[in-house]
Each structure stands twice: as C-alpha cells, then as structure tokens.
Structure 1
Amino acid sequence: MKNSISIMLVLLFISCNNQKPANLNFVKEKENINNVLNTWHKNAAESNYEGYFNAMDENSIFIGTDASEHWNKKEFEKFSKPFFDRGKAWDFTPLKRNIYFEKDGRIAWFDELLNTWMGVCRGSGVIEKEGETWKIKHYVLSLTIPNSNIDEVIKINKTKDSTFVKKLHSNLIRN
C-alpha cells in the first residue's frame, strides 16, 4: 500500500511538472507583447521616462549600437535621463516583429526591424511574464549593414575597434 501511494505521488508530481498551461492563449499573449513593445517605443518617442522604464524589469539589460553600451537598468536610466528631460529621446517605429515562446509561455524572445534616425535597425530581446504583466528583461539594438557595404564599415571601425579590443583585453588580463 505504501509503495502504491509513493508511486502515485511521484506520477502526480511528474505529470504536473510536464504540463503546459491549459489556458494559455499564445495569440493573445503575442498581442500583449506587441502592445508592451509598441508602447515602450512610443514612450521613448514621446519622452515618457516613467512609462519607458516601467516596461523594463528591475534586472534588465540594454545593449546599444556602440560596443561600449552594455547597461543594467539603473545605468541605462542614468544615460537616458538627459534625453528624456530635453523632451527628445528616440523615435523607433517597428516595421516587422517576430515573437517566439518558451514551452510554458512565461518567457518569450523577439526580433524586430525598426525605422530609426539611423536608418533600419534591428532590435532583439527577451521578455518575461511576471504575474499578468510582461517585462523586458534584455534588449539589444543593432544597426543593419548591407553586405555590399561591409568593407566600408570595417574600414571606418578599424581604429576604434582596435583601441576597444586592446582595452578589453588588458582588463581581462588584470582580472
């Protein structure tokens, strides 16, 4: 009898852990994520500092287009505050977005093409559902470079990249 109860408890535990959320509507969750990201970009365009940063998780990371731009939320807030205070942050308009879900539907990742003052950029990130709210955990902004122009970009970046690599390399050696 004891063995039967133990086996039943183990089977119950396993079945609960492998279950997908029965009531999760992935179409609706995609709409919710699109709304969060569209509003996030709109808040930057309208210099809504509070709205912009409330969309980000407290432990989020933002990676910008410059190799030195790797910020946690507090660092990114500090960097961004002067732009928002002047009433002119940035205006990124989504052109296309793909969203993918982890099995349990609580974590999603996305990539998007954006129309920006820099031309077409790519954003990608991770977003997690906390309670009923989606929060941006990680975001990477990058420039798109046509393959036919890559040689020109390499030449432009060569000196700066060389200096940056030396700095990073010397930090690695000391640590």
Structure 2
Amino acid sequence: MKRFLTACFLFLSMLGSAHAATDAALTRDVNAFLDGWHQDAANTRMSYFDKIAKDGVYIGTDRTEVWTRDEFRKWSKPYFDARKAWTFKATKRNVYASADKSLIWFDEQLHTENLGPCVASGVIRKTRTGFEIVHYQLAVAVPNDVVEQVTGIIAEHEKKAKK
C-alpha cells in the first residue's frame, strides 16, 4: 500500500510539473509575441496591425484614442509612412490565462522613447493560427507624488479647451 501511495504521489507531482511547464511555455510564447509586436512598431512594419484582431480595440493615452484596429491603422499611417512610429520595450510583464488557455490577459511596464514610463494591459485570443490582440490599453505611468500636479495641468488644459 505504501508503494502504491508513493507511486500515486509521484504521478500527481509529475502532472503538476507538466502543468507548470505548459504555463511557462505559454508565458514564453506570449512574451515573444508581444515583444515582436512592439518591435514591429519600432521598425514600422505593417505586420504590427496584423497582430491585432479584426475586432480588436486599441486605447491610447488620450481619452479620445479608442480605436478599432482599422481606425488605429489609419491614424498610425503617417507615422509608419515616415518610418517614425513608437518604440516600447517591456521592462516587466505579467501573463495570465483562462483554464483552457484560449484567452490570455497581461499587464506590462514599458520604457518608451517619447512618453517616458508607461503601463499597459491587454487581452489576447489564442486561435488556430496563433495569437491576436483583442484589447490593448496604454497609459502614461504617473508617480503618485506628482499626480496632483499632473491632474492640475489636465484641468487647466480642459478649461482652455472649453473656451
């Protein structure tokens, strides 16, 4: 009986390890996909937009920037045509997945060349052909110590815009 219980324990331990390896593999694949997506923008490759689902949404830093994939492609076209898009480099990323791993969500901290530190979160759908971004939201990371100053500047800007 002791051997049977030991064998069962070992078997269950191996199953737990296989599950962990699958999660590590998924995280590695998601990281490679997202890093490649960011590199596509940095190198102004139009394949950047192909990684966003047809029904995908991109939310930028301005509250007016809520775009479908095709709207975002149209807005971005002058930057890509001029070969001067944006460069985002993830410095930290957390990846999560549904039990069946068909839906993945993540958050990331980004180093950017023109916006300073940013944070983003998103949702990825796993399809038969790979991953596609369904939702991405970018935000400038404002340190708590300066939030009042920043929100004051925004309030002043909005007052002027209303005039």
Equivalent of 1:146 in 143, 147, 152? 143
* Unaligned stretches of 5+ residues in structure 2: 1-17
Equivalent of 1:83 in 57, 79, 98? 79
Equivalent of 2:107 in 108, 111, 126? 111
Point out 4+ residue stretches in structure 1 off by more than 6 angstroms: none
Q: How does 1:25-36 map to 2 (within 5 A)?
A: 25-36=22-33
CA distance in 2, matches of 1:146, 1:156: 15
Deviation at 1:89, TM superposition (A): 0.4
Deviation at 1:132, TM superposition (A): 4.0
* Unaligned stretches of 5+ residues in structure 1: 1-21, 167-175
Deviation at 1:162, TM superposition (A): 5.7
1:155 and 2:149 matched: no
CA distance in 2, matches of 1:127, 1:44: 18
Q: How does 1:1-175 map to 2 (within 5 A)?
A: 25-49=22-46, 51-116=47-112, 117-161=114-158
CA distance in 1, matches of 2:66, 2:52: 15
CA distance in 2, matches of 1:58, 1:96: 27
Deviation at 1:29, TM superposition (A): 1.3
Q: Given the superposition, is the C-alpha separation of residues 157 and 135 from structure 1 closer, same or farther in structure 2, using an over 3 Å criterion? A: same
Deviation at 1:82, TM superposition (A): 0.6
2:119 counterpart letter in structure 1: R
CA distance in 2, matches of 1:73, 1:163: 31
1:94 counterpart letter in structure 2: A
CA distance in 2, matches of 1:40, 1:161: 33
Q: Given the superposition, is the C-alpha separation of residues 43 and 144 from structure 1 closer, same or farther in structure 2, using an over 3 Å criterion? A: same
Per-residue CA shift, 1:62-83, capped at 9, x if unaligned? 0000011000011100000110
User: What TM-score, normalized to structure 2?
Assistant: 0.82
Q: Given the superposition, is the C-alpha separation of residues 163 and 130 from structure 1 closer, same or farther in structure 2, using an over 3 Å criterion? A: farther
User: What TM-score, normalized to structure 1?
Assistant: 0.76
Query: What is the percentage of aligned positions where both structures have the same residue?
Result: 38
CA RMSD of aligned residues (A): 2.0
Q: Given the superposition, is the C-alpha separation of residues 100 and 161 from structure 1 closer, same or farther in structure 2, using an over 3 Å criterion? A: farther
1:31 counterpart letter in structure 2: R
